[in-house]
Structure 1
Amino acid sequence: MTNTTRTPFSKQLQSKIDLLSKRTTKIQMGDVSFDSPLLLAPMSAICIAPFRLLMEELGAGGTVSELISCHGINYGNEKTHQMLRIDPREKNIGIQLFGEDPEAMARASEVAQERNPKFIDINMGCPVRKVVSKGGGSALMKDPKKLGAYFGAMKKAINIPLTVKIRTGWDEESINAQEVIHIAKEEGLEFVAVHGRTRTQQYKGRANWELLENLATTSPLPLIGNGDLHTHKQVQERLSKTTCQALMLGRGPLRNPFIFLESYIQEGEDLSFSSRDYFEIIQRLYHYISEYTERERTQLVQMRKHIVWMAQGFPGVAQFRGQIFTTPDLGDTMKVTEDFFMGLEGKDKNINHDEAFMTSGHG
């Protein structure tokens, strides 16, 4: 197996990280503070502690866990409780729960609070059928009249901040985010994150930023805007004009782990991240995942998907993807990865953002 000892970043990479990190500004959202207004969105089976820790290291002002079932927590499911793990090096982490029953959510919140997150977040944005069909995720937006009791039960159960992530509505005929935000305010929630699509849109089409900006202007709670922030140029442009207090990035960091830092590159500045930098990041992620679990199969599954996502846009990625998914050994996978990224010296990464990416649902 490949040596997993954590080695420092090269001087070249560390100097870029240090330079750009100094340009971030701390923000306050209700009773929750973050190291910058650019946050990592919760994503199912992705936002486990190793990836969250890496993203904080690369400029994310805060992170949120993958969505975690309140019922799995309350039933004592071992795998679900594993999802609650927080690395002690994480600074600004929230745990996100989902479920349709207020009392079950309240009990699960008490358990999650014991892991010492900065806040508990409610998932009201997940559009996938297995969550929605049971009344959780974005299905909760169908009947706002029930939300007062729902939020209230959770708020009473914990003594740390409670927050919520929602969509603009169930469909175009029921855009009710503003109503939900006002109910959340009345029940004492600290802030709201809004994905700029309806549930029926899933992850297709475009996020409605005009609506998000209007919501932020009138919201009684600090508002985080989320949706289609795939490049650092898009993030920079949105940061320059937004009325949102913060922005949340989901799919963008999967293909470009440097997107948080790149968003602070100044106009005309000759600064970029090379394929060698990408491989250093992959090595760091491998170290964190190896700390997180001793199961080599789990390590391999996690590393494969992140390696392939980070490789997207580089020349020869199709052939490389085939190699990765046909290499059964983890050590060999890392060697194939090293050969690929180190062989790209001087070659640029060019992603076609018009092509669909991760549109089947992730949280």
Structure 2
Amino acid sequence: MANNLTFSPSLQQKIDTLKARRTKVKLGSIEFDSPLLLAPMSSICTAPYRLLMEELGCGGTVSELVSCHGINYQNEKTHKMLEIHEREKNIGLQLFGEDREAMAKAAIVAQERNPKFIDINMGCPVRKVVSKGGGSALMKDPTVLGQFFSTIKKAIEVPLTIKIRTGWDADSINAPEIAHIAKEEGIEFFAIHGRTRTQAYKGQANWELIEDIAAQGILPLIGNGDLHTATATRERMLSTNCDALMLGRGPLRNPFIFLESYLTPEDDIFFTAKDYLEVIERFRTYMEDYTDRERTILITLRKNIVWMAAGYPNVAQFRNDMFTTPDLDGTMEVTREYFGSLGNTPKKIDHSKAFMAGGHG
């Protein structure tokens, strides 16, 4: 991936000003550049996107969930998902699977990519993952988790972490029990998405429960769920018992959310459509360095550009123009024309409407 890229002086100054306000945080033995981390999201958190988010103020990232069986079967596409860029500083690789021996074997391979930690996905609600016993299905029977954790931990030298939900359903809220088991087995820290598996991404995240668990101090805890705006993130940062916070869907529509969370009422700093276009251009470069498959680049860029355009005027027409343009160069030309026409028009996203309710991680 290109190493000599620079943002325009005006954008870089805004980035540097807000980055300077961040404070490092240590979760167990792992240090992050800020307490605001990027949540793992399937088909999104590849090396190009993670690196971009680090450059835009994210304190650390976790990869998309990677199948332990795909790793062990030497699947080329799966091994590509383990790729880490040399400039990524604070990256964890997340694995999913139901068999502890297979997970341990895959973790050894993942460790060779030099992540800061290996994370176990225990939160994915998607049927094709859960039906095989992986993801949030691992929360259904905590009695087997001690051996599950210990088998994987013994196989690797880097720290082991977990990401869970509050429970399988409303009648089995067992996140605290799992946290205690994790502590006994030497898990470094854990993240909780504040919904049950049956909720998927519907309803509201249960921050009251997350804060109660964080206050118990069982293990360093990362809170996750519904931090879709910089305002909500900033308010939670000021009041939380959590050691860190994890943002998933919010950064997709606002790549500057990690930086804007450090804004104060006295600031005269705002990010314009021109800044968004710079981010899109850089992401294209990272994608082209990451893969030579133009179809993959086109699909990835289109969805990210549409997400970033959310809240701007005439976005429906822009989206239609984008998806009726057949190639990458044409798509970028339409994108430059649209974002270039917006000037200093502010974004107005309606956060009451569902966004990616099907979930990606």
Q: TM-score, normalised by structure 1?
A: 0.98
Aligned to 1:121: 119
Equivalent residue for 2:68, pick from 57, 67, 70? 70
Aligned to 1:201: 199
- Give me the CA root mean square deviation: 1.0
Report the alpha carbon displacement of residue 268 of structure 1 after superposing the two structures with TM: 2.8
Identity %: 67
Equivalent residue for 1:276, pick from 258, 274, 277? 274
Aligned to 2:333: 335
State how far apart, in whole Å, the 2-side matches of 1:346 and 1:153 are. Answer: 54
State how far apart, in whole Å, the 2-side matches of 1:31 and 1:101 are. Answer: 27
Native 8 Å contact 1:207 1:227 kept in 2: yes
State how far apart, in whole Å, the 1-side matches of 2:357 and 2:323 are. Answer: 21
SS of the residue aligned with 2:266? coil
Report the alpha carbon displacement of residue 57 of structure 1 after superposing the two structures with TM: 0.2
Equivalent residue for 1:48, pick from 39, 46, 49? 46
State how far apart, in whole Å, the 2-side matches of 1:6 and 1:314 are. Answer: 31
Equivalent residue for 1:15, pick from 2, 13, 16? 13
Aligned to 1:80: 78
**1:180 and 2:213 correspond:** no
Report the alpha carbon displacement of residue 60 of structure 1 after superposing the two structures with TM: 0.4
State how far apart, in whole Å, the 1-side matches of 2:3 and 2:337 are. Answer: 20
State how far apart, in whole Å, the 1-side matches of 2:203 and 2:322 are. Answer: 31
Native 8 Å contact 1:6 1:287 kept in 2: no
Report the alpha carbon displacement of residue 266 of structure 1 after superposing the two structures with TM: 1.1
The amino acid that maps onto 2:108 is: E
State how far apart, in whole Å, the 1-side matches of 2:25 and 2:163 are. Answer: 18
State how far apart, in whole Å, the 1-side matches of 2:32 and 2:327 are. Answer: 39
**1:296 and 2:294 correspond:** yes
The amino acid that maps onto 1:310 is: M
Runs of 5+ in structure 2 lacking a partner? none
The amino acid that maps onto 2:195 is: R
**1:351 and 2:349 correspond:** yes
State how far apart, in whole Å, the 2-side matches of 1:219 and 1:80 are. Answer: 36
The amino acid that maps onto 1:166 is: I
Runs of 5+ in structure 1 lacking a partner? none
State how far apart, in whole Å, the 1-side matches of 2:178 and 2:88 are. Answer: 30
Structure 1 residues 140 and 358: CA distance shift in structure 2, 3 A: same
Report the alpha carbon displacement of residue 173 of structure 1 after superposing the two structures with TM: 0.4
Encode CA deviations 1:332-353: one digit per residue, 9 max, x unaligned: 1011000000100021100000
Provide the aligned length of Structure 1 versus Structure 2: 360
Native 8 Å contact 1:5 1:287 kept in 2: no
Native 8 Å contact 1:62 1:92 kept in 2: yes
Moved over 3 A (4+): 4-7
SS of the residue aligned with 1:196? strand
**1:38 and 2:33 correspond:** no
Q: How does 1:207-226 map to 2 (within 5 A)?
A: 207-226=205-224
Q: TM-score, normalised by structure 2?
A: 0.99
Equivalent residue for 1:169, pick from 140, 155, 167? 167
